[in-house]
Amino acid sequence: MKRVTVPSCALVMGCLILLQGSVFAREQQDAPRKKAGFSIGYKQYYAWWMPVWEEFELSKVKTSALLFRGEIVFANPYIIKPGSNFLYNPVFSARFSEKWSLSGSFLYGHFTSRTTRMTSLIYQTISTTSVLQFSRSSAREIHKYDADLLLNFQVHDNIKLFIGPKYQGYDFTFIRKSNLYSLCNIPYNLKDDLRFHSFGAGIG
């Protein structure tokens, strides 16, 4: 009777394991994609937003009119910088078949900028020259929005086509508060709202 040695058994077992592994990998590769599914997620990150008024500096303004000539002198340079904050981004994806899927995301952020300073208004009329002292504080509130909805088609394992609408916009609120100390501390407030919305299409 022929004996089977331990090295021979190990060699045969190793070949069987490799063969089984290759067959399993082939079955996994040939398995069809899931025809339906749904996923939802959430992303959040910290952002430094830089709008057009990211840094605006002003130290003096001159005015001229028939009965009024003046100069506004700020106690310190007028520097506006937006505040940084978090951006919130929920996302979702839904698959209908091996090729077709739908995905979407929504982005939201809230940014605030505030300034406070003392100001002198030196104005001159036909007969007199006067100085007004007043403090001025301002606040800018910005709400930023961004949304995408995409219909996707899987051409290949590494190639995907998409098309869908896109929305972006923001709400801008400007509030200014001032106190005229030279006129018995009279307060006055100004407020202005601006809303911008835009729509487009994305394809790629």
Encode pLDDT of 140-186 as tens digits. 788 888 999 999 998 888 888 889 999 988 887 877 766 555 445 55
Whether the model pTM is above 0.85 = no
More confident call, 137 vs 198: 198
203 pLDDT more than 80: yes
What is the C-alpha to C-alpha distance for residues 78 and 87, in angstroms, rounded to an integer?
28
113 pLDDT more than 50: yes
What is the C-alpha to C-alpha distance for residues 125 and 40, in angstroms, rounded to an integer?
67
User: Per the structure block, which two tokens stand in for 104?
Assistant: 């979407």
Confidence class for position 21, pLDDT limits 50, 70, 90: very low
State the pLDDT at residue 180. Answer: 55
17 pLDDT more than 50: no
What is the C-alpha to C-alpha distance for residues 110 and 144, in angstroms, rounded to an integer?
6
More confident call, 81 vs 2: 81
More confident call, 93 vs 114: 93
Q: What is the DSSP string of 102-146?
A: EEEEEEEEEEEEEEEEEEEEEEE-SS-EEEEEEEEEEEEEEEEEE
Confidence class for position 49, pLDDT limits 50, 70, 90: low
Confidence class for position 105, pLDDT limits 50, 70, 90: very high
